[in-house]
Amino acid sequence: MTNKLSLTTKIIKYAVTLRRSSVKKDIKAFKFNNCVCENVRLKTKDNVSIGAYLVTPNREIQKCFVFLHGNACNRENTRAQFNFEFLGDKGICFMVLDYRGFGDSDGDFCVEGVGYDVDACVDYMFSKFGKKVNIVGFSLGGGVALEHARFNYFNKSNEIESFDVYHGQKLKSENFDDVSNSVYTNTEKTNQNNVINDINEANNISVVSDLINEESNTNMCSGMKIDLQSEDTLTTQKNIFKDKRVGKYVIISSFSSLAHRVKENTIFKIIEKIFPNCYSNLEKEFNFNSIENIKYIDKKDVLLFHGTHDTIISHRHSMLLQKVSGCVMYLESKKHLSCHMGILHSRDMWKKMLVFFD
């Protein structure tokens, strides 16, 4: 499964995954007042054993998603990264996946394998709960999520349903009543409707004017919609079919491509002077090419979030993804919530996300 890597790519891969921080064999489970977090073991279709959390609410399950974490961590770390109990209150069931080579999962982390890892979780949740499974990717996990979209497009053509069932349908507030009953205030309900309007507006607009000036915005700005210069030939194809198991994709604080992000590092520029081929090798051998992979998802099925004070991955990476996709994007500018990890603590982001989910 893993391709042979050049020396420089091996070094970059080690730096990206930080195995000393990401590998952990004794992953603890947790129990909360309103949900239970248990360890599950899954076997991928390419025969790799992977570990994941399954978090189930004590109330009736409303919606499901798989959370894909960033680098240098494992699923146990995510307990401190976002609020499991908040999601339990909303009746949300979710999994937190440790990719192959992370946590207590077997195998070696590779671009070619992560599609199988995510798909194992999707299969498990869809079979167990009978609900569409949304995909949420944070940081490196955003690249993994979009790699799954590409994997899914090419590997699930025999397990699909007509996209026409969904295409062109407008979102309505009553679609979300099952989630919002008794847990949202009037103000929050208004925010839900604003999200719905943003998404519907983006679906109807094909050509829009210049980028808004993100520096002037406060809190979460509305959807940024950019002129799409041309239609990829893939567009017609990708709009025909949709995997019946998968709901929406949400990408948080991620890169346009891993190679692009690595190239921004000062140390990489030094390495590149010594090894002139290191960038081209990285692109071929270990690159999550999100700017290409996002084309495999219809714009109404993907939502972007990013913080304007993110010093790990600049929000301009998400702006590039948005420009290619034409999807809705929200920028967080409150300083304590707009850093790389801080955005995961934004309740407003999670509420917008739950509205967006299938």
DSSP labels, 47-67: S-EEEEEEEEESS---EEEEE
Helix residue spans in 246-289 (DSSP H): 258-263, 266-274, 278-285
The reported pLDDT for the residue numbered 173 is 37
Report the C-alpha gap between 116 and 155 in whole angstroms.
10
Q: Do 150 and 80 form a contact (C-beta atoms < 8 A)?
A: no
Helix (H, G, I), strand (E, B) or coil at 100: coil
Residue 157 CB burial class (10 angstroms; 0-12, 13-18, ≥19): exposed
Is beta strand 133-138 parallel, antiparallel or unpaired with respect to 63-68? parallel
> How many CB atoms are closer than 10 A to CB 89?
15
Question: Do the beta carbons of residue 44 and residue 121 sit within 8 Å?
Answer: no
DSSP 3-state percent helix, strand, coil across the chain (nearest 5): 45, 20, 35
Beta strands 246-252 and 241-243, pairing class:
unpaired
Output the CA–CA distances (angstroms, integers) from residue 332 to 75, 164, 238, 340, 344, in the order listed: 25, 33, 30, 11, 11
Show me where the domains of the chain are located: 7-356
Give the 3-state secondary structure of residue 31: strand
**What is the pLDDT at residue 212?**
31
Which residues are paired to 189 by β-bridges? none
Residue 170: per-residue pLDDT = 39
Give the DSSP letter of residue 45: T
CA-nearest of 71, 73, 40 to 55 is 40
Query: Going by C-beta distance under 8 Å and a sequence separation of 6 or more, which residues neighbour residue 228?
Result: 206, 207, 323, 324, 326
pLDDT for residue 136: 98
**What is the spatial distance between Cα 163 and Cα 180, in angstroms, rounded to a whole number?**
27
**Domain 7-356: CATH superfamily, name plus number:** Alpha/Beta hydrolase fold, catalytic domain (3.40.50.1820)
Element (DSSP H or E) covering residue 275: none
- DSSP state letters, 135-173: EEEETHHHHHHHHHHHHHHHH-TTSEEEGGGTTTPPP-G
pTM of the model: 0.80
The four Cα atoms 22, 107, 104, 243 give a dihedral, to 10 degrees, of 90
Please give the Cα distance from 215 to 316 (Å, whole number): 12
Virtual torsion, Cα 322, 133, 55, 253, nearest 10 deg: -10
pLDDT of the chain, 358 residues: tens digit per residue: 556 889 988 888 888 777 666 788 889 998 888 999 999 999 999 999 999 999 999 999 999 999 999 998 899 988 889 889 999 999 999 999 999 999 999 999 999 999 999 999 999 999 999 999 999 999 999 999 999 999 998 886 435 444 333 333 334 333 334 444 434 455 555 555 666 666 555 544 432 222 333 333 333 333 333 333 344 444 444 554 578 899 999 999 999 999 899 889 888 888 888 988 888 888 888 889 999 999 999 999 999 999 999 999 999 999 999 999 999 999 998 888 999 999 999 999 999 999 999 8
- Residue 30's pLDDT is what? 87
CB 318 within 8 A of CB 155: no
